[in-house]
Amino acid sequence: MLSDEQITKYQTLYKNRFGKEISREEAYAQGVKLLRLIELTYLPMTEVEYQKLQERRRETGDL
């Protein structure tokens, strides 16, 4: 699911953010969990839904 390059990049990002090195196995496990979270929460919006959202924002004044 994750390439060697992606795992290495995740390790680098993790070290830069938290100041701690993690193993390839841990980086892979965390990366897979992150991707799964994104899959579960990200829902693409259709053009019609986007237009309705913009209309609602205009009507409510970006509450």
| CA torsion through residues 46, 52, 56, 59, sign | positive
Neighbours of 30 (CB within 10 A): 16
Reported as a pLDDT band with limits 50, 70 and 90, residue 63 is low
| pTM for this entry | 0.68
pLDDT tens-digit map of 9-62 = 999 999 999 999 999 999 999 999 999 999 999 988 999 999 999 999 999 986
Q: How far apart are CA 34 and CA 36, in angstroms?
A: 5
Where do the H-state alpha helices sit in the chain?
4-18, 24-41, 47-60
pLDDT recorded at residue 62: 62
